[in-house]
Structure 1
Amino acid sequence: MANSFYSYLAFILPGSNANINTLKNELTDFYSKPVIDDQPVISINGNDISVRFQDDYTFHIVFSAEAHVNTEARELAEEQALDWNEAPFDKTALAQSASRFEIWGEQDFDMDYFNDSLFIIQKIEEFDNVIIFQNN
């Protein structure tokens, strides 16, 4: 994720309905609307979604359930007071998270894909029991 833009960690809490296949379907449904001119190709390969636009700009969304995810969730629960949207969150629930979506895009100095990054985060926020942080 070095030199990436729009980098977020979306921790999936116990009892969440979040999963990579549903997220891919939600993104596909949104971008297939006829009012969207730059319809990306959305593909999934295992636990990795790619959202590739016509100019090859790409967002990556990876589902991770590795052991370090819980370690990082517990650290964030201790260190952070607010989530990505500057809202308080349930620290006890976050400390129990063992999986997450890792989201990032390529460099975008002109912020051409800022709105798309927010749409992806919005779709993730629609799942139950998810806490999102910017990954600085």
Structure 2
Amino acid sequence: MSLPQQAHEALEAFNRSQGWDQRARLLMQWGDRLQPLDDEHKVEANRVHGCESRVWLVAERVDDRWQFKASSDARLLRGLLALLLARVQGLGSHALADVDLRAWFTQLGLERQLSPSRSNGLHAVLQRMAELSAHA
């Protein structure tokens, strides 16, 4: 499966980084790139349950491809969300269902930084994306 352009950019950037300190800074920078969600989108209906931190997700289908916006109160999680979005933006419903979250974060060299609770939270976000795309 081919990767979206943003996912290629993320892989290149993270593969160039040396060690956790550089990856952590890069992760924060990616989180700062997330488009902010308007307060009108930060409502219970858009909340992703299964995350320790508050996470909101908004989906829009454009020509059978999915565009997502996400936000969180937690800065590190915003970075992880930005990397997840880089991986899934513009995918169709079937391709979205086939995304291997663990493999993606392993490719980025971030698998060790995914605590079980963060990993579960990101899986909850990916699952919510799949639900939204399946019911559209």
The two structures have a TM-score, normalised by structure 1, of 0.29
The two structures have a TM-score, normalised by structure 2, of 0.29
* Structure ranking higher in helix proportion: 2
Q: With CA pairs under 8 Å and 6+ residues apart, which has the higher RCO, 1 or 2?
A: 1
